[in-house]
Amino acid sequence: MFDSLSDKLGGIFDKLRGKGALTEDDVNAAAREIRVALLEADVALPVVKEFIEIVKSRAIGADVIKSVSPTQQVVKIVHDAMVEMLGGHDGEQELNLKAATPAAFLMVGLQGSGKTTSTAKISKFLTDKHKKKMLMASLDTQRPAAQEQLKVLGEQTGIDTLEIIKGQSPIEITKRAMNEARLGGYDIVMLDTAGRLSIDKELMAEVAEISKLANPTETLLVVDAMTGQDAVNVAREFDEKVGITGIMMTRIDGDARGGAAMSMRGITGKPIKLMGTGEQWDKIEPFHPDRIAGRILGMGDVVSLVEKAQESLQNEDAAAMAEKFKKGQFDFNDMLMQMRQMTKMGGAGALMKMLPGLGKMAKQIEEANLDDTILKRHEAIILSMTKAEREKPALLNASRKKRIAAGAGTTVQEINKICKQQQQMAAVMKKIKKMGMGGMMKQMKSLMGGKGEELELMAQSMDPDNLGRDMAALKGNDILGANPFDGAGAPSGLPGLGGGMPGLAGLGGGQMGGMPGMPTRGGTKKNRKPKVKKGKRK
CA-closest candidate to residue 508, choices 519, 497, 498, 499:
519
Do residues 502 and 516 touch, judged by C-beta distance below 8 A? no
Could you tell me the domains of the chain?
A: 3-86 (1.20.120.140), 103-296 (3.40.50.300), 302-526 (1.10.260.30)
Do residues 284 and 125 touch, judged by C-beta distance below 8 A? yes
CA-closest candidate to residue 264, choices 293, 237, 296, 235:
235
CA-closest candidate to residue 139, choices 222, 83, 233, 206:
206
Which regions in the chain score pLDDT beneath 70?
Answer: 1, 20, 61-68, 89-92, 198-199, 255-257, 300-322, 325-326, 346-372, 435-538
CA 160 → CA 121, 174, 190, 273, 415, distances in Å?
A: 13, 15, 10, 24, 50
List the end-to-end C-alpha distance of the chain, in Å, as a whole number.
Answer: 46
pTM: 0.66
321 vs 313: CA distance, rounded Å: 10
134 vs 38: CA distance, rounded Å: 40
| Total count of residues recorded for the chain | 538
pLDDT, residue 430, reads 80
Per-residue pLDDT of 49-89, as tens digits, reads 999 999 988 887 655 655 557 778 888 888 889 988 888 76
